[in-house]
Amino acid sequence: MLNVQNVTKQFGKRNQKITAVKDVTLTLQENEIFALIGESGSGKSTLAEIIVGLDRPTHGEVRWQATQKVQQDQVKRVQMVFQNPDRSLNPYWKVKDLIAEPLVLNWHSRSEAYKRVDELLDKVRLPKDLRERRPSECSGGQKQRVAIARALALSPSLLIADEITSALDPKTEEEILQLLLALKREQRMSILYITHRLDTILGFADRVVVMKDGSVIEEGYTDIVLNQPKSEYTRALLSACSYS
Ligand SMILES: Nc1ncnc2c1ncn2[C@@H]1O[C@H](COP(=O)(O)OP(=O)(O)OP(=O)(O)O)[C@@H](O)[C@H]1O
Ligand SMILES: [Mg+2]
């Protein structure tokens, strides 16, 4: 579906360059959950922002395969949900306005957009009476569901979830993972799931890429990478989260 081809991203000036992403090549397939794993600073968010089009690579490119529509549709095809809903959701808006906004911005009429809100709340398993609430009146898990509903409004082919469960308790985290699994099936979309917690992705992600210092260290089917890790680094990540 999408090829990341030799992508490198550098920040900073001439003599103080940081290479956040180093020559990363990977392919995302249709209808799969792809996990991006690595410790803090390994370049996961930078790579995600390049894929979603919020940033441009220094070298290399992100290419959609021929079945997908042209470049200017990128905003609709890839949507991103961020770690902190308090920063990504405007606290003064009601849930219905937050979810309707991407539709209104993309030329849907207001009445049509508000009609879709209930349907989108339903998709993320939230009750309709949440429509009139503001983010501060929702729980952490509910806020991330609102952020997911907003991301789904334009029916993306790819949803990028960047550490979206890191502020949630284990039970709520598991519920969000189950929701993403169900959405993958129902919407036939792919999900790029970013986390530093290797132990949450077994039985969830189809494939995984392990990153370190901007480079891909290991890649493969999740059960194989987790059960027979090839690199010392992956083994260290696994023992750090006491997976066995
Ligand atoms: N806008 C920027 N300007 C300068 N350096 C940056 C910028 N964004 C990221 N970096 C640097 O690039 C490297 C990779 O950062 P990135 O945020 O992609 O890591 P990450 O894997 O998402 O980490 P975390 O798990 O903490 O979210 C880090 O060294 C970071 O300091
Ligand atoms: Mg990050």
User: For the chain, which residues make up each domain, given as ranges?
Assistant: 1-68+199-244
Q: Which of 178, 109, 101 is nearest to 146 (CA)?
A: 101
Residues 6+ apart with CB under 8 A from 106: 76, 154
Strand 207-212 to 215-221 pairing: antiparallel
Could you tell me the distance, in angstroms and rounded to a whole number, from the CA of residue 41 to the centre of ligand 2? 7
Could you tell me the distance, in angstroms and rounded to a whole number, from the CA of residue 147 to the centre of ligand 2? 17
Q: Whose CA is nearest to atom 30 of ligand 1?
A: 41
Q: Whose CA is nearest to atom 8 of ligand 1?
A: 46
pLDDT in tens, the chain (244 residues): 899 999 999 999 888 999 999 999 999 999 999 999 999 999 999 999 999 999 999 999 999 876 555 454 555 689 999 999 998 999 999 999 999 999 999 878 999 999 999 999 999 999 999 999 999 999 999 999 999 999 999 999 999 999 999 989 999 999 999 999 999 999 889 999 999 888 899 999 999 999 999 999 999 999 999 999 999 999 998 888 766 5
Cα–Cα distance, 10 to 8 (Å, whole number) = 7
1-68+199-244 has which CATH code?
A: 3.40.50.300
Could you tell me the distance, in angstroms and rounded to a whole number, from the CA of residue 162 to the centre of ligand 2? 7
Cα–Cα distance, 182 to 14 (Å, whole number) = 46
Residues 6+ apart with CB under 8 A from 179: 124, 125, 145, 148
Residue 219, SS3 per DSSP: strand
- Ligand nearest the Cα of residue 19 is 1
| pLDDT tens-place string over residues 67-126 | 555 454 555 689 999 999 998 999 999 999 999 999 999 878 999 999 999 999 999 999
